Each structure stands twice: as structure tokens, then as C-alpha cells.
Amino acid sequence: MPDRLNGSYYRATANAWRTQASLGSSLNCDVVVIGGGFTGLSAALACAEKGLSVVLLEAQTIGFGASGRNGGQLIPGLRWSMREIDAEFGRERAQAIFNLAYGAVDRVKHRIAEHHIQCDAKAGHLEAAYKPAHFDAMQRDAAFLAQHFGWEAQIVQSQDIGRHVHGGGYHGGIYDAQGGHFHPLNYALGLAKAAQKAGVRIYEHMAAQTPVDTGTQIEIQTGTGAGAATLTAKHVIMAADTWTGGIAPDLRSYTVPIMNYNIATAPLPNADQLLPSDAAVADSRFVLNYFRLSADKRLIFGGGEKYVQTPPADIGAFVRKHIAEVFPSLGNVPIDYAWGGAVGVTMNRLPHMGRKGNVFYAHGFSGHGALVTTLAGELMAEAVVGTMSRFDVFANFPHSRFPGGKWLARPLATLGLLYYAMRDRL
């Protein structure tokens, strides 16, 4: 996908980062990490902390993909509620999933504090009910989560929703003080700097080819022409998410890319009236609206999805109609930044993690990865050194390939997604 991050508020307000030089020569190391987003950076940092020599390859720039383009919403847990997980997997396994998925909140907070990452981190997340039936389900989920797993979130009745958001006509919601929001690109850059300090060698603009297991080591070709190089390693961690299929064709059919778009308005004089608690907000529709305030009081808003990779001619206009639905007074607000990116979605909307020999992978976070990706990287680092128990909790999720093969998988997935999007309107 072409780099449209130049139109991003995050790129415009990114912390300083010195672009890393090309590799230029062949190297041998313990671990090669492919991908410079949250997952890869977290994995590289955790491997280095375990005393391993690590090289990280990024085909573009640090945070180029979803890690530098997302809405910045820190939502505890996974796409499935714990009530659904408990019903599907049983209490013992559900407890292990809970410990990891909800424990990811503390891992991100720990990394931010430990490495003094300046990423405008703020507390508070509201899931807003688009329909009364959605609020009923939310309350059941929240009660189950509190009773069986000890995770407390506040039920917000419809008459009290104005404490968090003035707009949207929502029918109540769930406020989670342990969730929140941040500047995602600056978090990625902070992880990159921490990884470098730990000894990780990071190389940008170095696309990796498919790893080849020779039986004694793994070889990766990277670069072209005079910049071509061969890396040899004992282990490889693939953390390329929507680009995973390009270096691991056998994994391509486990996800489809869904295009999502965000805008940042001009700074708003009435920002605190629109979102009084400064919480991030995501509504309960299948094709959801999600929004929050930036540190300089802009509204950062994501709304709508497209199932083709060609972006709208005017991203701002595409998103504006969704803003006006939630905040009619902002129908003509100036939009200073507009950008888009791809979300890797699995069939069941749970992350797809696993290993093939000494190659580990994690992708398909399905729009719910701002917290879990940091954990996923750390789980793969544990697995590299032989501690598999926590990695296996996620690696054992059941997954299916999208039907239709290389050419039909995406059109068939699109039909299914359009069906659920249509249900939002009914």
C-alpha cells in the first residue's frame, strides 16, 4: 500500500528519530525480527533483555503500518468478551486468556514508564452503546467480567453518558478506567529507542524475503543490488501483520486487510465540552466510530471502513459524514490531517499466533491490537528461549483460512463483512 502516513497527525507530531542506515553487509545473530511495529519492536526488546543478539528489519520506517496509523485507543481484552471466551473454552483456559489479554494493559504501562516514552498516554475508555440491545449485552459482559475475573468497569446509564461524551445519542455504555489512549507512533518510536539501547540493531528500508530453514540455521535475504545482504539466525520472528503474506505465503489466507481511515480536526475551543472526561470512545456498531482528543485538543476520529485498498479520493470527506452523525455541530469543522491504513482481520477476530520450526509469527489482531501487540511480542521472545506456556495460550486459538484461495478470499470476506455492516442500519 502506498505510504499515506505523510498526511497523518502522528507523523506531523512524531518525536525525533534518526533513520537507521541500510544493513550493507551480511550478519549472523540469534534472532531476526521482521517488522518495525508494536509486535516486532516489543519482541526485539524482550529478546535483547534476555541476552540474545537481535537484528530488526523494517521494509519502510518504524511504525509505518498500523502501529503508526491507528486510532490510539487502548482497549483492554480481545475482540471476544470474556463471557464468550468462557463459554467457548471453559473456565480454566478462559482464566489463562484473561491473565494475558487483560494483563497487556500493565505491560504497555510498564514499557511507557520504564523507558520514559513521551506518547501522551491518558486513562479512560468508553464503549458506547449504539442500540439499547447493545447496552443490555454490555451490562451482562461487565457483570460477568467483574464476578468471575475481578475486572471492574463502570456501567454508565444513558442519562449519565454526558459525563463522557456530548453527542451520538448513545444508550449508555461501559467506562473502563484501566483503558485509555495514546500517540501510537510515538509509542512505537519509544520502543525502538529502548530496543536500540538494549543492543538491537534496527535497519529501516530493508525488506525481507521469505526465511529459508537450512536445517542448521535460518537464512533471510534482504535488500537489492549493492545493498543486498544475507542474515543467518537461530530464530526468526515475523511481525509484519497485513504484510505477513508477502514473506510467508502459507499464512496469507488467515487474514484479510480492511481499510480504515482517520482524521484530526483543527484544535477545538470546545473540546472539553464534547468529551468531558477525556476518555477515548468507541461505539458498539460492527463498523464502529471511534474518537478521542489529542494532547493539543484536536478530535481524532475514525469512522467507516472500505473493503478495497484504493483509498477515497478525499479521506476527510469520507470520514466527515461520520463525525456529523456523532457531533452535528462539527459538520463543517476544519480537518487538518487525514490518513488511512490496513487492519489485518482473522475469520474469528482473534489474533493468529504460532510457529513453524524456529520461525514464530503473530498477526491478525483485528483492530484490537494496540495493547495486545506488546504482549504478543513478549510472548514470542519467551518462546524463543524455550518457555512456551504463555505463548501457547494464544497459539492454541482455533483458526480457519478464509475460503476462496488467493483470488476469491477477499471478495467472499467482503460479502460477509457487508452483511454485518448492514445489520448496523437495521
Question: Tens digit of pLDDT for each residue in 29-39?
Answer: 999 999 999 99
Grid cell, residue 96, equals 489463562
* 49 domain-assigned: yes
Instruction: Give CA–CA dist 260/258, Å, rounded.
Output: 6
Q: Each residue of 239-291: pLDDT tens digit?
A: 999 999 999 999 999 998 888 899 999 999 999 999 999 999 999 987 789 99
* 411 domain-assigned: yes
* 67 domain-assigned: yes
Domains contained in the chain, number: 1
Nearest Cα to 224, choosing from 22, 17, 421, 28? 22
Domain of 344, CATH number, reads: 3.50.50.60
* 421 domain-assigned: no
Q: Contact, 10 vs 344, CB < 8 A? A: no
Question: 101: domain range?
Answer: 5-416
* 321 domain-assigned: yes
Task: Output the CA angle 147-152-158, nearest 5 degrees.
Answer: 105
Q: Contact, 195 vs 154, CB < 8 A? A: no
Q: Each residue of 198-238: pLDDT tens digit?
A: 999 999 999 999 999 998 999 999 977 777 889 999 999 99
State residue 408's pLDDT score.
47
Q: Each residue of 10-31: pLDDT tens digit?
A: 999 999 998 877 777 889 999 9
* 425 domain-assigned: no
Q: Contact, 388 vs 250, CB < 8 A? A: no
